[in-house]
Structure 1
Amino acid sequence: MSSLNLKTIDRVGTISKKDFIQQYVKPQIPVVIERLTEDWPAYEKWHLNYIKEVAGEKIVPLYDDRPVRAEDGFNEAHAKMKMSDYIDLMEREPTNYRIFLYNLMKEVPAIQNDYKWPDIGLRLVKQMPMLFFGGENSKVFMHFDIDYSNILHFHFHGEKQCVIFPPDQTPFMYKIPHSLISREDIDFDHPDFEKFPALKQAQGYICNLKHGEMLYMPEGYWHYMKYLTPGFSMSLRSFPKNPKFLIKAAYNLLIMRHYDNYKRKTKGQAWIDEKNERAITETHKNLGIL
């Protein structure tokens, strides 16, 4: 990852509520808190064998890294299989298959008692958190969340790499118009600076998360995740406090996603291709890159 301009994210073992707010939330700087989950039942229990034991018979939606196509439904799964078979696959060999935004806690209510709402100074949205699973070397494309929330991202079982960029780096990210993602053909592990020269100007952060560690991602941060080993994660969120991001979140939820879905239905793949081309031409035009 040395080709991208990335700083290592700060790490602390524990931190007081006051210091977390003053040093990281107010200035909107990411941090890894290593021991926030040590008093959770999940810290001891949340490994893949436990998930297989309590949820092995559940049929789960799987996603891979294929590019978005017009014919794909919104968040439509690419495959489905029993959780036990998926975990067997992950432990047997590398796989691109991931589980994305899966409401396992609704499917298996017993695990709702395995985590605690951290008293860390953020007013967290008290909705049932979703879980994310990935096999070795599976990747989550570069994107930012539709609601611009502050994110507490907890990882369990194994190791995961996180590359993140502040929202003020958006001009360099080759953002797809009317969407929340960068161009999907950018390899953020080995970026092609000849094709995507704006990335050379982007200033970001990197960390590896191990079992039980939490990454705080401030409002609207871009994030790209790679599972270095099989594992899974959970996110808790707090709505943005910046009025600009609240307005953008409302626009994304109420207007942007509906407009994009309409254009997909009416223009088909031509709309996807047009947006991908505009991500390059508009980025380079705005930055004065020939």
Structure 2
Amino acid sequence: MELNLEQIQRVGTITREDFLGTYVASQKPVVIEHLIEDWPAYQKWNLCYLKQLAGERTVPLYDNRPVASERKFNEPHTSMKMGDYIDLLNKKPTNYRIFLYNLLKEVPELQNDFSYPDLGLKFMKKLPFLFFGGSGAKVFMHYDIDLANILHFHFHGEKRCILFPPSETKYLYKIPHSLMSHQEIDYTNPDFEKWPALKKAKGYIANLKHGETLYMPEGYWHQMTYLTPGFSMSIRSVAKNMGNFTEATYNVFIMRYLDNFMRKVRGQKWIEYKNSRAISKTNKMNGYD
């Protein structure tokens, strides 16, 4: 048995009116295949180019180790020079990823390589984040802290994206006081005996190739698998739904600090409690207790 996933609809190009009326209004994801082909980045951005521009920059790295109490919310696991990291990506599979890194602030020349699409959303101009991964690297199922509308542009290679709308949260074994699903779930090959509620979840899937754009609506869960070494850039627009905006405000100003405080006070017992609670609450809610 596999996850109940529908292919994300694809369009070649799209007008501002169609994007707002068909996808933003209904909060449905879409892949836009040719949105950025007029960007200099479409021709220039690859791992070799970024190594040339930013090879001496020290970048934060994350891997797939479970959340632990000794680390703060979203604290990186290690660091490395960008050039050495790109060499590693090209040499062999690795779990090390770059996550939420504002390389464009560190290397301003990159800002000349793209523009913000005129799709009717007001994008936060200071937050274009980059994400890198090696062949086979996986990102845990999660949703973003600000529940933003996101345009996710992929470069150099191919990655697989699994999405779930917020309506499916009740099936995804969400960890309390966090933005993540239970980390032991392998969404590329789920064990439905261990995680039975997943059988009820309905989501979306798409493979992104160089130059393609994924629209992820507000608060959508997403899990990424890098099929080849590559990187992506995300730009975001604040949540328009008042409930999502309120939750985002809580996440940014209260939730992450509360979680860091409890990690410090209760240590690993806090992590174990949250993991256990995710399982018991989800199973009970769905009749599997």
Whether these two folds match at TM > 0.5 is yes
The 8 Å contact of residues 133 and 229 in structure 2, kept in 1 or not, is answered as yes
Using the alignment, how far apart are the partners of 1:103 and 1:113 within structure 2? 15
Partner of 2:278: 279
- Answer yes or no: is 1:180 the counterpart of 2:179: yes
User: What are the superposed Cα offsets for residues 200-233 of structure 1, whole Å, 9 maximum, x if unpaired?
Assistant: 0000000000001000000000000010000000
Query: Structure 2 CA distance, aligned partners of 1:131 and 1:250?
Result: 23
Deviation readout 1:42-92 (Å, 9 max, x if unpaired): 000000010011111111111100000001133222222111111111111
Amino acid at match of 1:112: Q
Q: Does 1:85 align with 2:88?
A: no
Deviations 1:16-67 (CA, angstroms, capped at 9, x unpaired): 1101111111000000001111010100000001001111111111110000
Q: Take 2:165 and 2:281, find their aligned partners in 1: how far apart are those partners?
A: 20
2:12 matched to which residue of 1?
13
Q: Does 1:158 align with 2:150?
A: no
2:145 corresponds to which letter in structure 1? Answer: I
Partner residue, 1:148: 147
The aligned counterpart of 1:256 is: 255
Q: Distance in 2 between matches of 1:74 and 1:223?
A: 18
Between 1:237-246 and 1:169-178, the stretch displaced more is 237-246
Structure 2 matches for 1:211-226, cutoff 5 A? 211-226=210-225
Give deviations 1:84-142, integer Å, cap 9, x for gaps: 11111111111101011112111111111111010011111121411110000001100
Report if aligned partners of 2:123, 2:237 keep a CA contact under 8 Å in 1.
yes
Q: Distance in 2 between matches of 1:274 and 1:135?
A: 32
Consecutive unaligned residues in structure 1, runs of 5 or more: none
Task: Give the structure 2 partner of residue 111 of structure 1.
Answer: 110
Q: For residues 1-290 of structure 1, what are the structure 2 equivalents within 5 Å?
A: 3-290=2-289
Q: Which amino acid aligns with 1:63?
A: Y
Q: How far did 1:252 drift?
A: 1.2
Number of aligned residue pairs: 289
In 2, Cα distance between the equivalents of 1:267 and 1:9?
A: 42
Once the two structures are TM-superposed, the CA of residue 192 in structure 1 deviates from its matched residue by 0.7
Q: Secondary structure at the match of 2:235?
A: strand
Indicate if the aligned counterparts of 2:73 and 2:256 stay in contact, CA closer than 8 A: no
Counterpart amino acid of residue 171 in structure 2: F
Q: 1:85 is matched by which residue type in structure 2?
A: D
Distance 1:57 1:250 in 2: 36
Contact kept in structure 1, 2:31 and 2:213, CA below 8 Å: yes
How far apart are residue 288 of structure 1 and its match? Answer: 1.9
Segment drifting more, 246-255 vs 178-187: 246-255
Instruction: Name the amino acid aligned to 1:13.
Output: G
Aligned partners of 1:105 and 1:128 also within 8 Å: no
Q: CA deviation at 1:262?
A: 1.3
Percent same amino acid at aligned positions?
63
Provide the C-alpha distance between the structure 1 equivalents of 2:127 and 2:73, rounded to a whole number of angstroms: 21
Separation in 2 of the partners of 1:284 and 1:226? 27
* SS at structure 2 position matched to 1:141: coil
Aligned-partner SS, 2:60: strand
CA distance in 2, matches of 1:75, 1:255: 15
Please report the TM-score for the alignment, with normalisation by the length of structure 2: 0.98
Contact 2:95 2:136 in 1 (8 A): yes
CA distance in 2, matches of 1:123, 1:81: 34
Moved more, 123-132 or 36-45: 123-132
Letter in 2 for 1:208: N
Using the alignment, how far apart are the partners of 1:144 and 1:218 within structure 2?
10
